[in-house]
Structure 1
């Protein structure tokens, strides 16, 4: 088993997805998105965590365990349920130092497998003031690992995810011009949809731990929950960000309140941390939105927990909250005794 390796999406797909702050690149059209073809991935040699030192040493990230709140709070997830006792990984991997509160993503293993999904579907269409998003929950631009996790997979020694990836009915109606709510709203389960049709869940597993650190995902940072919903808990390695060091990150998805979710870089290419963002993991400045520059709120992904959205800053259609929840089946006990 090799440490996690990022998979790079071919440039033909990259050209569809990239647009950010003060950039002359055009926003990908709905026709381009709907007409896209799955492209092969190009493997990189290592996963990097950027130049930020979080106080534990190069490449080490703070562990998000127990960073759950019943109110909006920077660096935490404002969860609708703070008493989480579901399934997930049952054993902390060697890449996690629970006593010191950090983990090493470069040493984390990943789920084996390279399963293609030729039947993946995803469409995005603007109708007046509404952005209509439909899909079947399968990735349009990358393969996945093999689930349920095989007993022959090293990942099985830590996480016995018994769930299979299944088609879903994903239907979202988001405002094209989202508005800020009077007060932030809690964010549990699915919090956003990526531009490749995959659900983005918050950074918690069903037991209330740091899902990115503890649960074992595949080469694209995804895995299925109990209903077969394949999803990410952080910015997938298979979602391309803008390659230029001095540019704002690309749009990588839409939060369920309609605001944009961008990659890990802010203005002038600065790698963002929790200290740069508010309690919901976003901020306000000029971005390119619907073909025009606009000073507006938006969310960002970060290397550190909570990884994406900590709470919803905008007004949200309650129907969008009926998407699948972040529930895992029981992990079926500890691993067998090793010879």
Structure 2
């Protein structure tokens, strides 16, 4: 196991008053609001609730034949699609499509996908929530508090480099993200920009489901043992709820694992057999309304739910997202 110590080089402040979402080649800053009550946690949630979880979802996804999410960005909300603010994808994704992708069948096999080598721990990682009257301020180093990462840049000797030449490093960042503690459903859903759509309670950004070319990032991009990798700004991130976090959640019930930028929770929900929902169980923004544990209270509210299918977590925002300053992907 490799242990790495890093000095922070970049400070990033994110607030609902003006969040600059991160992409493969961009980062930015804005001010945030201080809160009054502080709670720290390295766990995905304080507890799991089985309230409103069905005995069985509508179906089960085969991990060896997950539907490929290529060409599934849309200009309006739709189940199975990412309602994307970006419509012209001129960037380049991974160099080669891996043998785990069956283009003829339109599926990919998560059990045989290449993984970036390395087991790097980050003792300086932290995650803290400060909850005030109407705001939730999240402070992190954007490093995983509970899991290790792979070695980046991808080494020349790493077999994964045949499929993805990610030259970026993982850098410690000072992240301050301010969200509302009382999210509300807006009149209309809104599109998702490139880069961050939320943050996970392991202290790491959650990005949207596509790569720079508009393809299915989870299927195509070669990631590490916990399904993460760095972008062009050296920000480590996930494109779905990572397998390491999934393994740490309850075998049945509902577990809060993070927050979207509109303040709504992101949950891992399992039926009595331990299965995740399918897209058919969720709405156009990849969520639904049911009773969940939120801020220690079981309450009926909207929330996003993790699946094995594209777009994986947030398909669009049901609440009002932060205004995003122009940036280049």
Please confirm whether the aligned pair reaches a TM-score higher than 0.5, indicating the same fold: yes
Contact 2:276/2:306 (8 A) holds in 1: no
Does 2:155 match 1:126? Answer: no
* Highest RCO, 1 vs 2 (Cα 8 Å, sep ≥ 6): 2
Does 2:209 match 1:203? Answer: yes
Separation in structure 1 between the aligned mates of residue 262 and residue 281 of structure 2, nearest angstrom:
21
Q: Report matched runs for 1:154-233 at 5 Å.
A: 154-188=159-193, 189-233=195-239
Does 2:148 match 1:143? Answer: yes
Contact 2:254/2:292 (8 A) holds in 1: no
Q: Which has the higher helix share?
A: 1
The size of the alignment, in residue pairs, is 283
Q: Deviations over 1:105-127 (max 9, x none)?
A: 01111000111112213211101
Matching residue of 1:253: 258
Matching residue of 2:312: 307
Q: CA offset at residue 84 of structure 1?
A: 1.3
CA spacing shift, 1:271–1:237, aligned 2, 3 Å: closer
Q: Report matched runs for 1:93-132 at 5 Å.
A: 93-132=98-137
Contact 1:274/1:302 (8 A) holds in 2: yes
Separation in structure 2 between the aligned mates of residue 307 and residue 182 of structure 1, nearest angstrom:
23
Contact 1:253/1:260 (8 A) holds in 2: yes
Contact 1:53/1:60 (8 A) holds in 2: no
Q: Secondary structure at the match of 1:209?
A: coil
Separation in structure 1 between the aligned mates of residue 310 and residue 81 of structure 2, nearest angstrom:
8
Does 2:250 match 1:243? Answer: yes
Q: CA offset at residue 291 of structure 1?
A: 2.3
Matching residue of 2:7: none
Q: Secondary structure at the match of 1:172?
A: strand
CA spacing shift, 1:21–1:73, aligned 2, 3 Å: same
Contact 1:120/1:139 (8 A) holds in 2: yes
**RMSD over aligned Cα atoms:** 2.5
Q: CA offset at residue 317 of structure 1?
A: 3.1
Q: Deviations over 1:244-298 (max 9, x none)?
A: 3xx3221110011010000142689663111110110000011122222211100
Structure 2 unmatched runs, 5+: 1-40
CA spacing shift, 1:253–1:20, aligned 2, 3 Å: farther
Structure 1 unmatched runs, 5+: 1-11, 24-49, 328-339
Q: Deviations over 1:60-89 (max 9, x none)?
A: 100000100011111100111021122331
Q: CA offset at residue 185 of structure 1?
A: 1.0
Separation in structure 2 between the aligned mates of residue 308 and residue 295 of structure 1, nearest angstrom:
19
